[in-house]
């Protein structure tokens, strides 16, 4: 059975989907559906709220990837990027021992179903510019600002490439 809960944040509503054991997806949505939460989705909401308050830097809720073997390698590497850090798609490709696969890594990152917890927002272009985020570059910028303690001074974040 799938369970669903929502977390309000300053950058939008996050929908959390889980089964009885794992978080399966976290994504920004425009509207809510009916809640069908369980203890795991409730715990995830609490952890996300603490993250948005700057009181949590890592997550304890169990999650499960869904994707190809390559995508799952990318997601595993993404999960290792420390809070407040940014790396390039090329760096991420090197982390999975595929140094020439930066473009393929970018495509996998774009399909990440577990936003925030599997921090695809911490991946930037080789020139440190913000080049892609499925939920909008403005959200990526705000997440990076939050993690760097500069929400009041967003200018300190990497630039958004036009």
Taking alpha carbons only, the member of 99, 94, 92 closest to residue 125 is 92
Active-site option among 7, 44, 120, 157: 120
Q: Are 139 and 10 in contact (CB under 8 A)?
A: no
Contacts 24+ apart (CB under 8 A), 103-107: 104/70, 105/74, 106/132
Asked if 120 is an active-site residue, the reply is: yes
Please tell me whether residue 28 adopts helix, strand or coil conformation: strand
Active site members? 120
């Amino acid at each position: 059975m799938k369970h669903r809960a929502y977390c309000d944040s300053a950058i939008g509503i996050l929908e959390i989907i889980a089964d009885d054991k794992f978080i399966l997806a976290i994504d920004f949505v425009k509207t809510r559906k009916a809640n069908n939460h369980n203890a795991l989705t409730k715990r995830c909401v609490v952890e996300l709220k603490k993250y948005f308050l700057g009181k949590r830097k890592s997550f304890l809720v169990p999650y499960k990837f869904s994707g190809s073997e390559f995508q799952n390698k990318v997601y595993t590497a993404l999960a290792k990027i420390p809070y407040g850090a940014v790396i390039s798609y090329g760096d991420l490709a090197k982390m999975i021992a595929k140094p020439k696969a930066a473009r393929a890594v970018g495509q996998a990152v774009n399909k990440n179903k577990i936003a925030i917890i599997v921090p695809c927002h911490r991946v930037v272009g080789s020139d440190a510019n913000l080049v892609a985020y499925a939920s909008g570059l403005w959200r990526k910028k705000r997440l990076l600002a939050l993690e760097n303690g500069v929400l009041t001074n967003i200018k300190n974040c990497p630039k958004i490439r036009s």
